[in-house]
Amino acid sequence: MDRHDLNLRRLATAAVAVLLPILAALPAGSGDGTAGGRATQPSVATFAGGCFWCLEADLEKIEGVFSAVSGYTGGHAKDPTYEEVSAGGTGHAEAVRVEFDPQRVSYEELLEHFWRNIDPTVKDRQFCDVGSQYRSAIFYHDEAQRVAAKRSRKVLATDPSFMGSIYTEIAASTTFYPAEEYHQDYAKHHPIRYRYYRRGCGRDRRLEELWGDKK
């Protein structure tokens, strides 16, 4: 190595020694283009609306939703399987847990999407699926969500189209058990079977009857 190369290496080493303390002092995430130098902390919402294949597919289309996971919640059985939940007796409902960016979509907006993708006028069923495991429900994660959920249900109950017949449950969120892997993103992995089931269950036909242009 000649003297020129040696001097260049010394300069580079000195520059690194100066820059490292500066970089270490920067807040985590600085320079990533997010407000305050940090990515938005995801918020969580949990909804039940009959078949979780369908509700998951509907909710994950919403701009601002990071993920939608199918699972079971609201019951007493630990680590339930699909067969146990679908047979009834576990107290659980098929549900979807959503992680979302509250700066891009509010919880109130998620509630609006939720209502328009379920039939709130029936008890312990949704479309062709019958039983408490297919009930519609909003499982709130904090007081703000509880208040927002109750407010939105009250507003919906005043709509003449529903004549006060709203059976959607509002309850505190409990342990959420993700469903088996083959249920996750079912609509994406099995599009033909998914469309056949959804059409045969009459989901979209009933939603059109209920919501029409509001959908």
Q: What is the pTM of this model?
A: 0.81
Q: What is the model's pLDDT at position 40?
A: 74
The rounded mean pLDDT for the chain is: 86
Cβ partners under 8 Å of residue 108, min gap 6: 148, 152
Q: Which residue has 């029409």 as its token pair? A: 212
- The average pLDDT across 83-96 equals 97
Q: What is the model's pLDDT at position 117?
A: 97
Share of the chain above pLDDT 70, in %: 80
The 3-state DSSP composition of the chain as helix, strand, coil percent (nearest 5) reads 45, 20, 35
Whether 19 shows a pLDDT value over 50: the answer reads no
The confidence band for 32, taking pLDDT boundaries of 50, 70 and 90, is very low
Express each pLDDT in 188-211 by its tens digit. 999 999 999 999 999 999 999 999
Q: What is the model's pLDDT at position 91?
A: 98
Helix or strand or coil: residue 71?
strand
Whether 76 shows a pLDDT value over 60: the answer reads yes
DSSP-derived secondary structure letter, 119: -
Q: Which residue has 């408490």 as its token pair? A: 132
CB atoms within 10 A of CB 149: 24
Residue environment code for 159-181, b if the CB has 16+ CB neighbours within 10 A, otherwise e: eeeeeeebebbebebeebbebee
Share of the chain above pLDDT 90, in %: 75
Q: What is the model's pLDDT at position 214?
A: 60
Whether 13 shows a pLDDT value over 60: the answer reads no
Whether 18 shows a pLDDT value over 50: the answer reads no
Would you name the residues annotated as active-site residues? 51
Q: What is the model's pLDDT at position 161?
A: 81
Express each pLDDT in 135-190 by its tens digit. 999 999 999 999 999 999 999 999 888 877 899 999 999 999 999 999 999 999 99
DSSP-derived secondary structure letter, 91: -
Cα pseudo-dihedral 103, 54, 51, 126, rounded to 10: 90
